[in-house]
Amino acid sequence: MSPPKLIPMENLLAAWDGESVSIHRDRETGTWMFVCVHSTTLGSAAGGTRMKHYPRPTDALADGMRLSEAMSLKFACVDFPHGGGKAVIALPGPEVPQGEARRRLLHEYGAFINSLGGLYSCAPDMNTSAADMDVVAEVSPYVFC
């Protein structure tokens, strides 16, 4: 009997030298959210929040994993007391939500970040802003910018 073939997400995770990936799906919108923690050697992980459409959830995961490693290197270079992490809000379509839909999605994201209990703190990145982080901070203290 041959061993089972790994699916692409398993391949990504098996090849990565990071510590953890947390996954959440917003059922209302179909948005996938990934928090990739590359390292907590220097302290809890931190990094930006990227909001964009990806062709597949695994593409979003791969982006988050790659970028979280870069954050580990950046923080280590400047002796910043945090490990590297990155969050990706993978939108189901190319349209970036605005208004109340955006606010609701950011609250959902904040609740997800909060559920990690301080493992990761988020900041703005692609298609997110300091004002968005203020919205996230309404439901989670794990925000910086």
Active site residues: 86
Under DSSP, the state recorded for 138 is T
Residue 20 to residues 55, 88, 103: CA-CA distances in angstroms? Answer: 23, 14, 27
Identify residue 62 by its one-letter amino acid code: A
Q: Which two tokens stand for residue 139?
A: 């439901």
Q: What token pair was written down for 31?
A: 């948005």
